[in-house]
Amino acid sequence: MAEKERALDVDRLLKNKLKGVSIEALENGIAKVVSDLVGEDYKATISDVKYTLFSGADFHIKVEMTYNPED
């Protein structure tokens, strides 16, 4: 075989590192990316977080433009 087979690291998959990230940090990161892409200030709100097996998460996210009357 030309390709080396790699063993599946089950412990790594089961240790969900997303649980260690605050919801606020995720919201701020998503808002920054959307704002950079669109060129307007946006905010993100995350709700209904459910962490999944195999290091994932399901959640509802609302992204909306912020209104700043000074602009």
Host domain of residue 52: 15-65
Its pTM stands at: 0.74
Nearest one of 31, 37, 42, 33 to 67, comparing CA atoms: 42
Q: Is residue 46 part of a domain?
A: yes
Q: Is residue 31 part of a domain?
A: yes
Per residue in 38-66, pLDDT tens? 999 999 999 999 998 888 899 999 999 99
Q: Is residue 54 part of a domain?
A: yes
Q: Is residue 34 part of a domain?
A: yes
Neighbours of 44 (CB within 10 A): 19
Per residue in 3-30, pLDDT tens? 556 777 777 767 888 889 999 999 999 9
Q: Is residue 8 part of a domain?
A: no
DSSP letters along 35-71, please?
HHHHSS-EEEEEEEEEEETTTEEEEEEEEEE---TT-
Q: Is residue 3 part of a domain?
A: no
Q: How many separate domains does the chain show?
A: 1
